[in-house]
Amino acid sequence: MDVLDLARLQFAVTGCLHFLFVVLTLGLAPLVAIMQTRHAISGKPVFERMTRFWGQIYVINYALGVFTGLVMEFQFGMSWSGLSHFAGDVFGAPLAVETLVAFFLESTFLGLWIFGWNRLPKWLHLMCIWLVTLTAYASAFWIMVANSFLQNPAGAVRQGDHLVLTDFGALLSNPSLVMAFPHVIGAGLFAGSFVIIGGSAYQLFRKTPEQEFFRRSLRTGVVWGFVGSTLAVGFGYAQFGFIRNLQPDKFKGAVPGLSVELMTAIGQTTQFVVMLVLLPLLIGNLLARFRWVHPLLMIMTPLPFLAAILGWLVREVGRQPWLVYGKLSVADAMSPGLTRGMVTFSLFAFAGVLGLLALIDYVLIARTIRRGPARVDLGAVESAGPAPAPALAL
């Protein structure tokens, strides 16, 4: 491989690994908020326990995912300085808004939610997790605004050797954004739901004593998995018309074409299974009682993540050889002075660190699911401890 191909491979590998964290974060946040809302309304302890259990998995994934996002930021300066010079005035704006507003607010509200258990009033604490969800969606929105600009540089004109933003409204109403953003939200909800489905199926297959807990969790995962799959598949197909007009050659070539076929097959198959098989089996808790189905549900858990990665490949690889479509090629965007050795070293370093974080994430989530809701740290009531010994009278 030459330097350009190595730099592209580096960004692709780190992007895929980072997106695994992102898609689960976008999926679990609203599901945890829904669980806590049900507890706030009904007062049933099982919903509070569900919130704490699945919320702890959300926190694990979020904490590790933050570090993977930092690596993505580094690469823009290291490998793609030509992009910053040519389109930084436009491309950098939504990224700055995402970092300064959405991400910081999301982290702040998440901190209040984590440390506010048994301290904040019930409804104020509930508002915190919904604000976490909204700011997570806002973060995804601004990232998609930036990415959609690369796909279709709307609202900008060339002045000299760089692009200048002339129409902020066109940037936000970019046809490449309008259908893609809800598609990503649906994909996240789909992935988060299947983690809950797979984890619940694992515990039910083991004949856990927490039957009510995981029956309700399984039902929540199936219902919202159907919602997420419907959004992902529906808005996925709705994009095809826009994409063919904006990028006529998008689906040509071996990798994009194959990725489209695999992504579509996975999306349609899983949606078909959820809609026609799993949803009817919720009647009378048949799905929870049919243990022979549970291993199949566990095997299906990674499929939404695979579909998400394939979708990302279609969106990014199909734009080649352009980085800013029709305006700036990938070759012209690469930083000058890079050597093959430098990029190879950073490729293995970044991929190794992010791969390790992904492995740690998987191990911690699997361990949390295996331990079950009886041993959850999030929201646990602190023990008062032994009473202090009386002071000696002097």
pLDDT digits (tens, 9 = 90+) for 194-211: 999 999 999 999 998 999
28 token code pair: 């679990």
Nearest of 275, 331, 348 to residue 13 by alpha carbon = 348
Please compute the mean of the pLDDT values over residues 63-74 and round it to a whole number.
Answer: 82
- Domain regions of the chain by residue span: 13-371
290 token code pair: 């049919």
pLDDT digits (tens, 9 = 90+) for 126-165: 999 999 999 999 999 999 999 999 999 999 999 888 999 9
163: enclosing H helix or E strand: strand 162-165
Show Cβ contacts of residue 112 under 8 Å, excluding neighbours closer than 6 positions: 120, 128
Asked whether the predicted pLDDT for residue 258 surpasses 70, the reply is: no
Query: How many CB atoms are closer than 10 A to CB 353?
Result: 15
Helices (H), the chain: 3-42, 45-79, 81-97, 104-115, 122-151, 168-172, 175-178, 180-205, 211-246, 254-273, 286-289, 294-300, 303-317, 330-333, 340-371
pTM: 0.90
Q: How confident is the model at residue 249 (pLDDT cuts 50, 70, 90)?
A: confident
Please check whether residue 334 is in contact with residue 3, taking contact to mean a CB–CB distance below 8 angstroms. Answer: yes
